[in-house]
Amino acid sequence: MKIEIKKIILSLLFVISYLNTHAAYSGEPYFAVEESFALSATVENGKYPISTFIPRTMLLYVSDINNTKIISNRNYLQVKTQDGVSVFVDATTVSKKPYKNILGDNEVIFNSPISLCRKIGCDTESDVDTWKIHAGDAFHLTKDGNNGFLKIVGYRYEQEISGFVSPETLDEFIENGVVTRTDRRHPKYTITKVKSKSLNTKCSEIVSKGTSRKIGGSIDIEIPILRAFGIGVSGGAGAETNINITTSYGQNGHEYIFYTYRISDNDTHETKEFVAQIDYECQKGPLISPRNLISRVDMKDVTNDVVYSLLFSDYGASKELKQYTGAPYLYSVNSYRQYIDLMERLGGVFSDRTIAGYFLSEFNRSCRSRDRSRDLCSAHSYRK
């Protein structure tokens, strides 16, 4: 009975978190008619930070198409992207009507330009044997085809454009964000997060082995983090008001923040949980200790014990970007090319396009619009 009550409490915490941070999104999706940079729906230090890049034709689920919010003298719509990220986007970059009202039943959208074979097995480098597909082109996936290839058909200036692609290549396009399948469930997941209230450190704080910490929130949030990172145990049966630290953690010049992410499949309703330790590089000061960047993120899927690690050094962004992002970052997407390259890398890490897109936004901070063309922001390559 006690275990069941704990589960109910934990579920309620995630529901409350979801209701506090997400508007109600329903109905047919709209889409981005132009590339843009979205603002986080969560205020940080009194501002809405630039959280993610929105490629052209990304599906957007709008909270209220007639209700805009003025931010920095511009009208923004609150939307949830096809990856399940709640953000504000410039209202002028959102289609005036839902996707189906404009693009019909075309279920394949190309988010980036590619060469499409006119015939099976062509040389994709040949201009003669390929169509040049533009970002934003929408195609219908037919049942025709042979030798295991799929045929897709679109129209340009009333002329039919048909080509062939293998199922494996199409799946690769989907995982890397090159293609969106509009006939699949979006967002694939509902993702909510809850921040630990008991385990986080301050800048340069080291939590020593053998110390005890008071529970600031629910023990059910803290226990998976304790177990995943091997840093402690709950205070004991019946008394569960303390956490006993069994392994010291923390680092000089760093700040550790812990989160639990609940990922619920919107089709199967299966759930899994990630716990994350976010390591910020910081500067300890007399009054405030600003965070400069995200040094690394370590995550564990506690459902199946899979571990994911994202290191700042692996992505190679400049450590000087804070002056242009205004917020700490693991990577900084400031162009379409950077977005595609990061989606490919993160898709390989998580083996799931939606989760990759979510965590791209979660740990990204783009440069401010006036600084985005600077080489420090735009010239860096995230290609493998």
- Tell me: the pLDDT tens digits for 298-312? 999 999 999 999 999
Among 143-147, 173-177, 372-376, the range with the most confident prediction by mean pLDDT is 372-376
Looking at residue 47, what DSSP letter applies? B
What does the mean pLDDT of the chain come to? 87
User: Could you give the C-alpha distances from 306 to 168, 200, 295, in angstroms and in order?
Assistant: 25, 23, 21
Q: Residue 144's pLDDT band (boundaries 50, 70, 90)?
A: low
* Other residues' Cβ atoms within 10 Å of the Cβ of residue 178: 22
pLDDT of 46: 84
Q: Is the pLDDT of residue 70 over 90?
A: yes
pLDDT of 240: 58
pTM of the model: 0.84
Q: Which among 235, 205, 234 is positioned nearest to 222, based on CA atoms?
A: 234
pLDDT of 14: 47
pLDDT of 87: 95
Helices marked H in the chain — which ranges?
2-21, 99-103, 167-175, 219-229, 312-315, 322-325, 336-350, 353-362, 375-378
| Fold (topology level) of 107-181 | SH3 type barrels. (2.30.30)
Average pLDDT over residues 82-96: 94
**Tens of pLDDT along 272-305?**
999 999 999 999 888 888 999 999 999 999 999 9
Q: Does domain 2-101 have CATH number 2.30.30?
A: yes
Who contacts 79 (Cβ-Cβ below 8 Å, separation ≥6)?
Answer: 25, 30, 60, 61, 62, 63, 86, 87, 88, 89, 94
Do 2-101 and 107-181 fold alike per CATH?
yes
Helices marked H in 251-373 — which ranges?
312-315, 322-325, 336-350, 353-362
Give the type of residue at 262: R
Give the type of residue at 219: I
The pair of structure tokens assigned to 8 is: 């109910």
**Tens of pLDDT along 12-41?**
444 444 444 444 555 789 999 999 999 999
pLDDT of 25: 54
Q: Is the pLDDT of residue 53 over 60?
A: yes
* Other residues' Cβ atoms within 10 Å of the Cβ of residue 75: 12
Domain ranges within the chain, ordered by starting residue: 2-101, 107-181, 189-378
